[in-house]
Amino acid sequence: MVETRTIAVVDDDQTIRRALDDLIRACGYGSALFATAEEFLAYRDRASIDCILVDVKMPGMGGVELQLKLNADPPKPPMIFMTSYADDKTRSAAMAGGAFAFLVKPMEIHRLTDLVRMAVEQKN
């Protein structure tokens, strides 16, 4: 039996979550969808996550704060940050914290899917 890799999507925008869910599944991965970083942290099966697609700015805890929490409790899967509001300070913080990539919305589909594939391969 082939093991399905699971990609987590952490984004407060339901439309983005649905679109990424469709894309992830079309690429042959499983997905786990979360509306908040806090919801992701409460997920009992976090060890099954192979890559995290995370929005930088969300109500409550943002993506960089989630990254800091996960860095304090390794191992953590590769994180790909997504934002509509790119700024150098946030990008630098995410990359310094070990982000796999930092993308600006709207994202090129092929770029995103290539990064997810590389992140999953890196985790293995």
Q: Is residue 73 part of a domain?
A: yes
**Domain of 76, in residue numbers:** 6-123
Q: Is residue 1 part of a domain?
A: no
How far is 69 from 24, CA to CA, in rounded Å?
Answer: 25
Taking only the tens place, the pLDDT of each residue in 17-73 is 999 999 999 999 999 999 999 999 999 999 999 999 999 999 999 999 999 999 998
Q: Is residue 31 part of a domain?
A: yes
Q: Assign residue 38 the CATH number of its domain.
A: 3.40.50.2300
What's the structural domain count of the chain? 1
Q: Is residue 11 part of a domain?
A: yes
pLDDT at 1 over 70: no
Contact between residue 119 and residue 51 where contact means Cβ atoms under 8 Å apart? yes
The DSSP letter of residue 72 is T
